[in-house]
A = this chain, B = another copy of it.
Amino acid sequence: MKKQIVLLPGDGIGREIMESAKEVLQVIAEEFDHTFIFHEHAIGGAAIDAYGEPLPEETLKASEHADAILLGAVGGPKWDDQPVHNRPEQGLLKIRKSLGLFANLRPIKIIPALTHASPLKEDIVSGSDILIIRELTGGLYFGKPSERRNNGNSVVDTLSYERYEMERIIEKAFETAMTRQKHLTSVDKANVLESSRMWREIVDMKSNEYPEVTVEHVLVDAAAMKLITNPAHFDTIVTENLFGDILSDEASVIPGSLGLLPSASVREDGVGLYEPIHGSAPDIAGKGIANPLGMILSAAFMLRNSFGLDAEANEIERAVNEALEQGYHTADLQVKDGTLVSTKEMTELVVENL
């Protein structure tokens, strides 16, 4: 298989961890006889420095022609004084919207070797395996008007959705639930928002097409509670953009190993952007101690989800788990009697396990 992969290292530790993912992908390519062609481009603060804007035309063009995109992380205090519409994270918002990556997939799974790292009690988290599907290109993030009014005496943002935007993400959620435990939790605020009432209607309609999937509607405030008190209750969760932003980040701290979590932002044809959910960690950038596993697992996620390369993805995930089970960990993870390793060492450990 031959694939064009755009690499967007971004800022902070993005460059270091991207090197790790590239190395792992090259080993996989050799082992399984694929050709991965890498095209590296700037995004975020790095792009502001080099091109004056967080998503340069060149980066967008290259991404439009890619089979998939890997992104490191964007942002940092260096760009805090940029006007708000030229900040690093605007690059992220723009590339999602421009490429139509409407479905954000956020798997959250307890890694047995790291259960002790969870802020939650072990009997509460153990066995948790959640996939949050967040709508990513609609809602309050992109609705117009979004402006000051009356000489700055009032302000308005707009939560707007087209029916087809709801339909496609809900359809994606049912399809995904079918490949999992067939339990779908739809999160909304239907007791207050008209958009949530429309959302709920569409979920109920679509559920007729998927009789095997059990569906429940949970209000966003109740969902925020239940994620903590009973995370193992959930299988697949689907929700709109802003609720998904909050709930997926809340859920991401449950396993206690933020540095390991991957994410995907995809569209119907399988093209997707894959990135670890952690930030650019400017405080440790360049020190060679960042955890590369979230980035490496994002590459595995890409292989499975955009290229259909299940065996290859499993191989990477197995190699990562093996390194963790052997007690190796980077500085962000606390492991009793473990062996602290650097970014490079962790990458080599994974490569050796392949």
Contacts and interface: CB of A to CB of B under 8 A. Distances in A.
Interface string A110-132: 00000000111100100000000
Contacts of A160: 154-157
Give the copy number. 2
B119 A143 contact: no
A1 interface: no
Which among A193, A221, A243 has the highest number of chain B CB atoms within 10 Å?
A: A221
A33 interface: no
A127 to B, nearest CB: 15
Interface in A102-161: 118-121, 124, 140-141, 143, 146-148, 152-161
Contact of A93 (B192, B252, B253): B192
B198 A225 contact: no
Interface in A216-262: 220-222, 224-225, 227-229, 242-243, 245-250, 252-254
A291 B224 CA distance: 23
Nearest to A142: B192
Classify chain A: how many residues form its interface, as a range.
35 or more
Contacts of A194: 146-148, 155-157
A255 to B, nearest CB: 11
Given A156-B159, A158-B159, 16 more contacts: A89-B191, A93-B192, A119-B124, A120-B121, A147-B194, A153-B163, A153-B164, A155-B160, A156-B161, A157-B158, A157-B160, A157-B195, A158-B158, A220-B245, A221-B249, A225-B252
